[in-house]
Chain A
Amino acid sequence: QKEVEQNSGPLSVPEGAIASLNCTYSDRGSQSFFWYRQYSGKSPELIMSIYSNGDKEDGRFTAQLNKASQYVSLLIRDSQPSDSATYLCAVRGGGSNYKLTFGKGTLLTVNP
């Protein structure tokens, strides 16, 4: 069974710090990787996608992918209280398998 693992947290960081969220996956054939943010009681919202090894930066967010280690991470720089949410890692398999496999999410709390 294809699995996506995340630390459940909670991860607590002070405002202005860097928050580091990690995710590992079991399916070596996985092609696409996503980070979704989910506020309590709301639906998931895509914040980053990454498809090739290395880093991808978008504003305060950086996604890092290492396919050899089957590892993907999300860094949030200058963390804000509004970043407090659950962050879901999602992985899509290769070929025409378009469904996403999600981790259980990491709860991030940014303290003012």
Chain B
Amino acid sequence: GAGVSQSPSNKVTEKGKDVELRCDPISGHTALYWYRQSLGQGLEFLIYFQGNSAPDKSGLPSDRFSAERTGGSVSTLTIQRTQQEDSAVYLCASALTGGETQYFGPGTRLLVL
């Protein structure tokens, strides 16, 4: 079946602009995670959605970052007033439920000029 998909695959933006990154999880997966991978760094947890529960936002680095998940499926990560340090690969993962194996999408490469 189809895996996790993300769009766009690449995004170049100017400092100060807002960006939206999209994640389509595997059908039927109730858990969805966003991670960030900066050059030379490990994956950094950002936010976790599980069904209709309140999301775990503990990894969001600043209030410029927000995410939503509509209808328990597609998720959008929004970064407002982008900064150069936001440049990274943003990875989405989904799981059948919390605690199950996480499957990663191909990522969105964000470059802030």
Contact = CB atoms under 8 A, between A and B. Distances in A.
Q: Do A and B come from one complex?
A: yes
A98 B101 contact: no
A111 to B, nearest CB: 23
B25 interface: no
Nearest to B58: A99
A96 B98 contact: yes
Interface stretch (B14-22, B41-49, B64-72, B77-85): B41-49
Contacts of A104: 40-42
Given A99-B48, A99-B59, A101-B45, A43 B99 contact: no
Given A99-B48, A103-B42, A104-B41, A44 B99 contact: no
A109 to B, nearest CB: 17
Interface residues of A, number: 22
A57 interface: no
A38 to B, nearest CB: 9
Contacts of B45: 99-101
7 contacts: A46-B102, A46-B103, A92-B99, A99-B33, A99-B56, A100-B35, A101-B45
Interface of B: 31, 33, 35, 40-45, 48, 50, 56, 58-59, 91, 95, 98-99, 101-107
Interface of A: 4, 32, 34, 36, 42-46, 49, 88, 90, 92, 96, 98-105
